[in-house]
Amino acid sequence: MSEGTLYDKVWENHTVAELPTGQTQLFVGLHLIHEVTSPQAFGMLEERDMEVAYPELTHATVDHIVPTGDQSRPYVDEAAEEMMRALEQNAHAANIDLADPTTGRQGIVHVIGPEEGLTQPGMTIVCGDSHTSTHGAFGALAFGIGTSQIRDVLATQSIAMEKQHVRRIEVSGSLGKGVEAKDVILEIIRRLGTDGGVGYVYEYAGDVIESLDMEGRMSICNMSIEGGARAGYVNPDETTYAFLRETDRFRDDAAAFESLLPYWQSIRSDPDATYDDVVHIDGSELEPVVTWGTTPGQGVGITQPIPDPEALPADKRQSAREAQAHMRVTPGETMEGYEIDVAFLGSCTNARLPDLRRAAGIVEGRVVHPSVRALAVPGSQRVKAAAEAEGLDDIFTDAGFEWRGAGCSMCLGMNPDQLEGDEACASSSNRNFVGRQGSKDGRTVLMNPQMVAAAAIKGHVTDVRRLPEVVSV
């Protein structure tokens, strides 16, 4: 068993009791909720005549169903309107803070938690959403929970859990041009498999991770769940503290910041901590990774050939065959040249300001290919405002991108932004499952935001590092 890691320390100082089931009752420091998974939990609470125990530790927003175009109420989609109303009523009745679109603070739950400074090191954070692992970027223990567990948290501010193993993933070296945090995590999942992390929490470390900004660390922790790990984290450091200092929570409260700093430093993994497993990856060798299949683990470097299913381990063959038939790709070829119909820049993986900046850097002075529908969807209203303040919106719209309102958008088919028919999409999101983007014949190719921008320009998947220079006129 691991010892002296951040995970061990946070687990221990949040332990309430050992339960007769053999599980541990863990105190939850921050509970985030959104409109899709919370209403049933409130319903269950009501059935039992229970109240929300600690409403001040729960924060709500709306992201999955919110339209990114016309947001006037009532929403055109009646089901969406009903979900929004339920969230409003529940939040209001329980006195829970709700960042709805009228507040200017609304956005994807995993974007706004960090932005507001709600997300802090050494916390336990849960949300009824599997990408809650994102918040681990701050050195928090953060994971997705099911609806019964949301009920547990509302009623008791606790969850029942079994302790997991800790795997340290060290990414050494430095990333080359055009290679991003997204490529690091796609590579990790490609190597360890989509179930490689089952039973584990991932600790990401090494020079590459330490040199990433907070947004890059969030992209990595975000996709821990695609690698099978319910949680992943990075030990807090100067980069973390600098980010926190600028959040709503601490911007005008230096005293609170100073008083918490020693706690944050104390929960870092000890230099002599014991891990259940350690994996090394040389970050200098990485190139942009794109997926060729229908799971996030079916990825390949942009210059590398798509694998032959028959050459894969026996248990991977059938799903590779089916994936390649669905995606219509040919083993032996690279993904370069794979034609796309849609380019989606968004989601809780890659829709923060630096993601949009890097993508805009590629788009600037170029135009979107005429056969491509391109969407740039900021992760939150604040990201949107900040991007507009620097003129990124103009860069995108001048090039032919749609510049939309904040939300989950085309990451999943629960709002009007969806793939149609068998459209192929270059996407900066995290899941390429069949049907994920709203059409069961739709085809999703996951990649980093610069690669999405490059694909939008060329009309096909391409190596952003080899994009011809913009000739200024």
Under rule CB under 8 A, residue 16 binds other proteins: yes
Instruction: Tell me which stretch binds other proteins (CB under 8 A): 12-20, 183-191, 388-396, 465-473.
Output: 12-20
Instruction: Tell me which stretch binds other proteins (CB under 8 A): 39-47, 234-242, 358-366, 399-407.
Output: 39-47
- Dig out the tokens for 349 from the structure: 């993986």
**Site for ligand SF4, residues 31 to 70, rule: CB under 6 A:** 63-64
- Dig out the tokens for 209 from the structure: 């991770």
Q: Which single residue is written with the structure tokens 């090494």? A: 206
Our measurement of the distance from residue 246's CA atom to the centroid of its chain's CA atoms, rounded to an integer in Å, reads 21
Member of 6, 32, 33, 80 binding other proteins (CB under 8 A): 80
- Dig out the tokens for 344 from the structure: 């989606």
Under rule CB under 8 A, residue 378 binds other proteins: no
Asked whether the beta carbons of 274 and 150 are under 8 A apart, the reply is no
Instruction: Tell me which stretch binds ligand SF4 (CB under 6 A): 189-197, 242-250, 310-318, 408-416.
Output: 408-416
**CB-wise, 223 or 335, nearer to ligand SF4?**
223
Count helices and strands in the chain by DSSP H and E runs: 16, 19
The secondary structure of 160-196 as a DSSP string is: EE---EEEEEEEES---TT--HHHHHHHHHHHH-TTT
State the minimum distance, in angstroms, from the CB of residue 225 to ligand SF4. 9
Asked whether the beta carbons of 85 and 103 are under 8 A apart, the reply is no
Member of 5, 58, 157, 224 binding other proteins (CB under 8 A): 157
State the minimum distance, in angstroms, from the CB of residue 375 to ligand SF4. 13
- Could you tell which of ligand SF4, other proteins, none binds residue 387, using a CB distance below 5 to 8 A set by kind? none
Alpha-carbon distance of 392 to 294, in angstroms, equals 32
Asked whether the beta carbons of 64 and 34 are under 8 A apart, the reply is yes
Alpha-carbon distance of 298 to 193, in angstroms, equals 9
Rounded CA Rg of the chain: 21
**Site for ligand SF4, residues 93 to 122, rule: CB under 6 A:** 108, 110
Q: Which single residue is written with the structure tokens 């709002």? A: 415
- Could you tell which of ligand SF4, other proteins, none binds residue 83, using a CB distance below 5 to 8 A set by kind? other proteins
Under rule CB under 8 A, residue 265 binds other proteins: no
Under rule CB under 6 A, residue 412 binds ligand SF4: yes
Instruction: Tell me which stretch binds ligand SF4 (CB under 6 A): 138-146, 304-312, 367-375, 406-414.
Output: 406-414
Member of 348, 356, 362, 383 binding ligand SF4 (CB under 6 A): 348
Asked whether the beta carbons of 109 and 127 are under 8 A apart, the reply is yes
How many angstroms separate the Cα of 39 from the Cα of each of 91, 179, 348, 413?
10, 40, 22, 19
Asked whether the beta carbons of 186 and 299 are under 8 A apart, the reply is yes
- Could you tell which of ligand SF4, other proteins, none binds residue 430, using a CB distance below 5 to 8 A set by kind? ligand SF4
Alpha-carbon distance of 343 to 109, in angstroms, equals 23
Under rule CB under 6 A, residue 135 binds ligand SF4: no
State the minimum distance, in angstroms, from the CB of residue 83 to ligand SF4. 14
Alpha-carbon distance of 406 to 425, in angstroms, equals 19
Q: By the criterion CB under 8 A, which residues form the site for other proteins?
A: 13-17, 19-23, 25, 27, 29, 36, 39-40, 43, 48, 50, 53-54, 56-57, 65, 79-80, 82-83, 86, 120, 122-123, 130, 144, 146-149, 151-152, 155-160, 198, 259-260, 263, 413-414, 435
Q: By the criterion CB under 6 A, which residues form the site for ligand SF4?
A: 63-64, 108, 110, 129, 131, 347-348, 408, 411-412, 429-430
